[in-house]
Structure 1
Amino acid sequence: MRIHLTRDSVAAGDDADAPHAETVPLPDGLDVPAALTALGLPRPRLPSIGGGRATWVVRGSDGTALAVLAQQWPRPRPLPAGQGPLARLAGADGDVRLHVEYRRQVDPEAEYGRLLG
């Protein structure tokens, strides 16, 4: 399965190659949490932010929030929509499109709670 991954820029100097697109092959049959871990989220795919604290939200192609990432967390924290097989997020072409939204230094626990809302 192919994952088309994009992410927000974190600073003006980071805008040069926005939206930071890459295509990553993953094995078929993964669930969403395992796929996010296999993608290397949050490390090493996301830039380190000075101060060691940054929050990100992984969204599906329809904008649905799937998981919260934090620079200070070792792995993604899936939201209810981010459970289940990755294949259910595939488009008509069989590819999955994910976007990682930068939420700056928002408290990741608070962001997770807000998205559970």
Structure 2
Amino acid sequence: MTLEDELHGWLEHMARSYAVGDAAACARMFSEDAMLHSPFAPPAHGRAEIEILHRDWTRTATAKRFDILSFGGSGDLAWILARFSEGDTGTGTTLAVLDRSAGTGWLCKACSLNEEQI
């Protein structure tokens, strides 16, 4: 499997978890010490805060879609720049830095969401 396939799978898992309103599953995709920055909420530090954010965001089931714009990696570190679209939020971009370990696979260490300005 290529790095692109792995990262695409990670994004698809996030989209499915989001669409069914599973905030805990969304949060498990982040490391315990992850940071998430978004124009839609205050910064979240750590998996517990990230789950709280996702509980609010996934309160109503909404289809979410990601399209990879660019990606890269070296060893067990990777990054993804993707466009997202979803329900009321609309569209924007996300930049995520991921770390891979044998026990957990890819987990997000840092994520920044940005609203698309029209």
**TM-score, length of structure 1 as denominator length:** 0.31
Does 1 or 2 have the higher relative contact order (CA < 8 Å, sep 6+)?
1
Structure with greater strand percent: 2
TM-score (norm: length of structure 2): 0.31
